Amino acid sequence: MLHKLMTKPHDPTAHEPTADDAGTDGAAIVPFPVDAGRTEENDSAAHETQLLVRVRDQRDRNAYQALFGLFAGKVQGYLRRTGIDPADAENILQDIMLAVWQKANLFDPQRASARTWIFSLARNRLIDIKRSLKREYAALERYSLETADDQVYEEDMLARAAGGKSVALLAHLPPEQASVLLMAYVEGKSHREIALELKLPIGTVKSRARLGFQRVRALLEQAK
């Protein structure tokens, strides 16, 4: 699957703004100051961050609803791709989105953008679940697909997981570096586990991760 993803031709539309970016789900979107020097991508990240700051400082329910509209589907998609079943994913999503509302006081835009902060909340919730299951969860076949509801994720799961902008981000990397990063981020495997699975020395896996990360870092900086 990884190979298939990596050999996919670069999608020139990947940088186009999508409905997600614009948040066209009917939620109240609050205007923000236009900065002519910025890209669409920076603008949507800045907009998200501004919404979260309003949630934090003013307990602004409209700003929260807008943020929810922008992120709930993405967080849920992330949870589902890690292999969590749909019913559990709803509960976990609620935990995460509740934390966004109740713990917004912990958000510091100097330290992270809203999307990075929400990602780290979601990741923390997943770690907690993994540990409370004592790694039984990790042993589950993450992509075992049984229910009809899972059909949408059945084909080319990793390509979807790393769809759109993300594919564009990793398309700049040699396939072996992109694979290691996808296994770490999407499949949740440690470098040690990846080394065992690919039958490579741990040092090789680490240098692939490091080199791949260094290359995408420059791109991330532009999107900061």
Partner 1 sequence: MSVTRHPDSAWLIDYACGNLSRGFELVISAHLMACAVCTEEVRRAEQLGAELLFGGQPAAPKLTAVDVLDAEGGDLSWLTARFALRPAVGTTSLQAFVDSYLDCGLSALPWRKAGRGLQVAKLRADEHERLWVLRAAPNTVLPRHTHAGSELTLVLKGAYFNGDTIYAAGDLEDANETTDHQPIVTRDAECICLAATEGPLRFASWAPRLVQRYLGI
| Footprint of partner 1 on 122-151 (CB under 8 A) | 123-128, 130-131
Part in contact with partner 1 (CB under 8 A); list of ranges 2-10, 32-40, 139-147, 159-167: 159-167
Looking only at residues 67 through 106 of this chain, which bind partner 1 when binding is defined by CB under 8 A?
68-69, 71-81, 89-90, 93-95, 97-99, 101-103, 106
Long-range contacts of residues 97-100, Cβ cutoff 8 Å, at least 24 apart: 97/68, 97/71, 97/72, 99/125, 100/52, 100/55, 100/64, 100/67, 100/68, 100/71
Site for partner 1 (CB under 8 A): how many residues? 85
Q: Give dist(CA 100, CA 109) in Å, integer.
A: 14
Taking the complex as a whole, how short is the minimal distance between the CB of residue 78 and partner 1, in angstroms?
4
Which DSSP letter does residue 90 get? H
Question: Per CB under 8 A, does 57 bind partner 1?
Answer: no
- Closest to 24 measured CA to CA, from 76, 69, 71: 69
Taking the complex as a whole, how short is the minimal distance between the CB of residue 10 and partner 1, in angstroms?
15
Q: Which is nearer to partner 1, 164 or 175 (CB)?
A: 164
Which one of 39, 85, 190, 196 is in contact with partner 1 (CB under 8 A)? 190
Q: Which is nearer to partner 1, 36 or 139 (CB)?
A: 139
Taking the complex as a whole, how short is the minimal distance between the CB of residue 169 and partner 1, in angstroms?
6
Question: Per CB under 8 A, does 38 bind partner 1?
Answer: no
Question: Per CB under 8 A, does 51 bind partner 1?
Answer: no
Q: Which is nearer to partner 1, 26 or 36 (CB)?
A: 26
Question: Per CB under 8 A, does 112 bind partner 1?
Answer: yes
Part in contact with partner 1 (CB under 8 A); list of ranges 1-9, 32-40, 140-148, 214-222: 214-222
CB atoms within 10 A of CB 163: 15
Part in contact with partner 1 (CB under 8 A); list of ranges 5-13, 29-37, 139-147, 204-212: 204-212
Helix ranges (H only) for the chain are 2-7, 19-22, 40-58, 61-81, 86-102, 114-132, 136-139, 151-154, 157-161, 165-170, 175-185, 191-198, 202-222
Question: Per CB under 8 A, does 186 bind partner 1?
Answer: yes
Q: Give dist(CA 78, CA 122) in Å, integer.
A: 9
**Full DSSP string of 163-218:** -THHHHHHTTS-HHHHHHHHHHHTS---HHHHHHHHT--HHHHHHHHHHHHHHHHH
Question: Per CB under 8 A, does 162 bind partner 1?
Answer: yes
